[in-house]
Amino acid sequence: MAQELENDRLLRALAREPVDRPPVWIMRQAGRYLPEYRETRAQAGSFMSLCQNPELACEVTMQPLRRFPLDAAILFSDILTIPDAMGLGLYFETGEGPKFRDPVRSPEAIERLPVPDPEDSLGYVTDAVRLIRRELNGQVPLIGFAGSPWTLATYMVEGGSSRDFAETKRLLYGDPQAMHALLQKVADAVTEYLNAQIRAGAQAVMVFDTWGGALTPRSYREFSLAYMQRIVDGLIRENEGRRVPVTLFTKGGGAWLEAQADTGADGLGLDWTIEIGEAAQRVGDRVALQGNLDPSVLYAPEAVVREETRRVLDGFGRDTGHVFNLGHGVHPAIDPDRVAAMVDTVVNYRRAD
């Protein structure tokens, strides 16, 4: 049976059930903006060492909950754990972000890719989930996550971050069959990975499609959304006697909200380039919406942070189905006091009659 949750606002909001106020959590809520995180990362020695140490991953997952009255914890990990477990040789260059020693650019390389066993090569993630659940002890729900197949494929083909995705789009347009083979394999890996997180104790999951907005509308549906649909269809949707909601987030994907809602996902994440009230009108009550304060607002004075937070809350326009969040991850240079002001504004928010 389900563990009793002291605070289940997130799960109720994603089910479009009544809540006393919108729940709040923050993308990248455990990260470099927190001095305690920086201390723990220094202790770990490197970012991936931190990710691969369940005890330290648990510690940094819990850190923001000690500072702020958040309504959810999110597993501390990275979206590139799956391609790393596929043997592509993940490493980090100072100032340049993640890179892979063995990018995948041919049908033969795609064919050779293994689908990793999430309890074997990714067992450090599921171990962290179990540890975090014990540490949370029913305080708030735990969110698990993964990158979308398209987003992971861009890193795998490019060999790292990219501005124009030249190699990825060369494969997409030049050999779409090979691209589909890659995306299908990654989608299956993501589905198994998220299901392993759910079995280990994740009470909600999220798929981050960071680079879906780089595609044309037709290509988005064919090469990104179709594979997120495959994941939604393959997920465990009930565990511990409770529904496990899934949220999809495409950065730059505001044009395709209706198609995203058709997937059967419980929630859709919004970046800051769309008015949340407009989004709510377009999808109706089919899905909950998460978002969507511009993270850069947190550089502003506290009064502005509070005003802009209320603007998003008021803009949603109804009482059910809103999870407050940023439109993307919190920036490393943000003052934690600004985050505190934002969270406090949500916690004390009541919609005017």
Cα(107)–Cα(109) distance, integer angstroms = 6
Active site residue 124: no
Annotated binding residue 201: no
Question: Which of 12, 16, 33, 155 is labelled catalytic?
Answer: 155
- The packing angle between helices 123-136 and 176-200, to 10°, is 40
Question: Which of 9, 12, 21, 28 is labelled catalytic?
Answer: 28
- The packing angle between helices 276-283 and 302-316, to 10°, is 20
Cα(197)–Cα(114) distance, integer angstroms = 19
Annotated binding residue 328: yes
Annotated binding residue 20: no
Helix (H) or strand (E) holding 293: strand 288-293
Residue 98, classed as helix, strand or coil, is strand
Annotated binding residue 63: no
Active site residue 41: yes
Active site residue 311: no
Cα(91)–Cα(318) distance, integer angstroms = 45
Q: Are 63 and 37 in contact (CB under 8 A)?
A: yes
Q: Are 70 and 29 in contact (CB under 8 A)?
A: yes
Active site residue 66: no
Annotated binding residue 285: no
Cα(211)–Cα(174) distance, integer angstroms = 19
Helix (H) or strand (E) holding 35: helix 35-44
Alpha-helix residue ranges (DSSP H) falling in 137-211: 149-158, 166-174, 176-200
Cα(224)–Cα(255) distance, integer angstroms = 14
**Number of alpha helices (DSSP H) and beta strands (DSSP E) in the chain:** 16, 11
Annotated binding residue 210: yes
Q: Are 92 and 83 in contact (CB under 8 A)?
A: no
Active site residue 199: no
Annotated binding residue 29: yes
Strand ranges in 108-262 using DSSP code E only, listed in sequence order: 142-147, 204-209, 238-239, 242-243, 246-250
Pairing, β 267-269 against β 288-293: parallel
Question: Which of 41, 221, 242, 286 is labelled catalytic?
Answer: 41
Question: Which of 78, 175, 294, 344 is labelled catalytic?
Answer: 78
Q: Is the torsion defined by CA of 332, 338, 342, 347 positive or negative?
A: positive
> In the 8-state DSSP scheme, what is residue 160?
B
Binding residues: 28-32, 78, 155, 210, 328
Binding residues for substrate: 28-32, 78, 155, 210, 328
Catalytic residues: 28, 32, 41, 78, 155
